[in-house]
C-alpha cells in the first residue's frame, strides 16, 4: 500500500452561524484547504464528505453531490459517509484507503454539520438516532443519559469523581481560549461546572459538548507527490476502524469502549509505535467522561486512572500527554465535521503552526473519533514527515 500525506487543511470557526448555510460552511472550509495545499482544484480526483444528519437539521440530503457541485468539481466521484459523530473520521479513512490502494493520487475530504436551526428537542431526536432507536431512544435514553450511565458505572468501579470529570471541561475550556476557531472563549472553574445544573446525573451542562455549526476539510495526496508540492507535509502513518454493539445493553462493560481499544491496537501496530511515542492527542470528548474513558482505552493511562490523571494536570498542554489542545469537542462539535477538525488541528500542531496552544516538540499525533456511544471508533496516527 502507498503512503498518504496531508498537504493542506481548512476549517470554519465553530459556533452558531445564523447567517451561513450548510453549503456555505463546507465551501469555506474546502476552499481554504485547497488554497493551503497550493494546488489547482482540477488536480483533485475524488471527494469524501462526512455528515451525520443534514436531513434532520436542514432538510438537505445527498451531501456528496452538493459538495462537488458547490466546488465546481463535477463530474468527479463525491461520496457522503455517515457514522454518527465519527462521520468525519470515517470519511478521512475512506479517502486514505482510496490513495493507499492506488485508485487516486489527490483526494479532498470534508466534514460539515449545521445543527442550530432546529429546536433542542429536534436536535436531540436527530442525535439519538446514533444509538439504538428501538431499545434506547424510543424509551427516552438520549445521549446525555447513555453517557451518564457510563459515568455512574465508572464512578462506582474506579472511584472517579464529578470533580475529576469537571477538570476535563476546565482544561478544554482553557485550551479553547487559545484557539480562535473555538465556539466558546471563556475560562471556567471546577465550581462553575459543579453549579451548572444536571442534564443527566452525574453529567452537568458544562460536562457536555454543545450544538454547533461548522465545517473542516483536508487535502490528501500520495506522499511522493506530496513532497514535490511541499517541504512540510504530514504523513498519515496509521488508519484503523472498529465497531461495537449499537446499544449499551449488548456490551460486556460500559466503562470502556471496545471499538476504541481495537482500533487503537490496530493503529499502533500499523505505525509500529506504542502510546508513549505519541506527543499529543485529539480525543473524542462529547462528554467529560468520554475523554476520561478515551485516554484509558487508547492506552495512555490504566483503566480507572483517567480522571485522576486529568485532575493532576497530566493531560494539560504542558503535561505528560497533552489531550485536546484544540479544546476538543467541548469547544464545538458539529458532528459530521469533528473527525476532520481533529486532523486539521494535528496538522497545524505537527507543522508548528498552532500558535499559543502549540505543543512543544510535537512530531507524532493521534486522532480518536467516536460514533454514538461507541459503536464506531476511528483512530489515525500522523507524523511530521
What is the DSSP annotation of 317-373?
Answer: TTSSS-B-TT--GGG---HHHHHHHHHHHHHHHHTT--GGGPPTT--EEEEEEEETT
Q: Is 51 in the active site?
A: no
Q: Cell 450548510, residue?
A: 22
Q: Enter the DSSP assignment of 214.
A: E
pLDDT in tens, 109-137: 999 999 999 998 899 889 999 999 999 98
Q: How high is the pLDDT of residue 164?
A: 98
The SS3 of residue 21 is coil
Say what the pTM is: 0.98
The SS3 of residue 47 is strand
Q: Is 333 in the active site?
A: yes
Distance separating alpha carbons of residues 181 and 354, to the nearest angstrom: 11
Catalytic residue of the set 17, 104, 284, 333: 333
Q: Report angle CA 158, 268, 356 to the nearest 5 degrees.
A: 80
Catalytic residue of the set 51, 85, 221, 286: 85
Report all structural domains of the chain as residue ranges with CATH numbers, in order of start.
4-119+212-234 (3.40.47.10), 122-206+235-384 (3.40.47.10)
Q: pLDDT grade, residue 185 (50/70/90)?
A: very high
Q: How high is the pLDDT of residue 231?
A: 82
Q: Report angle CA 301, 303, 304 to the nearest 5 degrees.
A: 100
Distance separating alpha carbons of residues 142 and 129, to the nearest angstrom: 9
pLDDT in tens, 18-76: 999 999 999 999 999 999 999 998 999 999 999 999 999 999 999 999 999 999 999 99
pLDDT in tens, 213-265: 999 999 999 999 999 988 889 999 999 999 999 999 999 999 999 999 999 99
Amino acid at each position: 500500500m502507498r503512503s498518504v500525506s496531508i498537504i493542506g487543511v481548512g476549517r470554519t470557526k465553530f459556533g452558531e452561524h445564523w447567517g451561513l448555510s450548510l453549503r456555505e460552511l463546507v465551501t469555506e472550509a474546502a476552499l481554504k484547504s485547497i488554497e493551503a495545499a497550493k494546488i489547482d482544484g482540477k488536480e483533485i480526483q475524488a471527494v469524501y464528505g462526512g455528515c451525520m444528519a443534514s436531513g434532520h437539521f436542514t432538510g438537505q440530503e445527498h451531501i456528496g453531490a452538493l459538495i462537488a457541485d458547490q466546488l465546481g468539481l463535477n463530474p468527479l466521484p463525491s461520496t457522503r459517509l455517515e457514522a454518527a459523530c465519527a462521520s468525519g473520521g470515517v470519511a478521512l479513512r475512506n479517502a486514505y484507503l482510496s490513495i493507499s490502494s492506488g485508485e487516486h493520487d489527490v483526494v479532498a475530504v470534508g466534514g460539515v454539520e449545521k445543527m442550530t436551526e432546529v429546536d433542542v428537542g429536534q436536535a436531540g431526536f436527530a442525535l439519538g438516532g446514533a444509538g439504538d432507536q428501538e431499545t434506547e431512544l424510543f424509551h427516552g435514553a438520549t445521549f446525555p443519559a447513555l453517557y451518564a450511565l457510563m459515568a455512574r458505572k465508572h464512578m462506582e468501579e474506579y472511584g472517579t469523581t464529578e470533580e475529576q470529570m469537571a477538570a476535563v471541561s476546565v482544561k478544554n475550556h482553557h485550551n479553547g481560549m487559545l484557539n480562535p476557531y473555538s465556539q466558546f472563549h471563556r475560562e471556567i472553574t471546577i465550581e462553575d461546572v459543579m453549579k451548572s445544573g444536571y442534564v443527566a446525573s452525574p453529567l452537568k451542562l458544562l460536562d457536555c459538548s454543545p450544538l454547533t455549526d461548522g465545517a473542516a476539510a483536508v487535502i490528501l495526496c500520495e506522499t511522493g507527490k506530496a513532497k514535490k508540492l511541499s517541504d512540510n507535509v504530514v504523513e498519515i502513518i496509521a488508519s484503523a476502524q472498529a465497531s461495537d454493539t449499537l446499544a449499551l445493553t449488548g456490551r460486556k462493560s460500559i466503562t470502556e469502549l471496545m471499538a476504541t481499544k481495537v482500533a487503537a491496537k490496530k493503529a499502533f501496530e500499523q505505525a509500529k509505535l506504542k502510546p508513549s511515542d505519541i506527543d499529543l492527542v485529539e480525543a473524542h470528548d462529547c462528554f467529560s467522561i468520554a475523554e476520561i474513558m478515551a485516554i484509558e482505552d487508547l492506552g495512555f493511562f490504566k483503566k480507572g486512572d483517567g480522571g485522576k490523571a486529568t485532575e493532576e494536570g497530566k493531560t494539560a498542554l504542558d503535561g505528560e500527554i497533552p489531550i485536546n489542545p484544540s479544546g476538543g469537542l467541548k469547544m464545538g462539535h458539529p458532528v459530521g465535521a469533528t473527525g476532520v477538525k481533529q486532523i486539521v488541528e494535528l496538522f497545524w500542531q505537527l507543522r508548528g503552526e498552532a500558535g499559543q496552544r502549540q505543543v512543544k516538540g510535537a512530531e507524532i499525533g493521534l486522532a480518536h473519533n467516536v460514533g454514538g456511544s461507541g459503536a464506531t471508533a476511528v483512530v489515525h496516527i500522523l507524523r511530521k514527515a
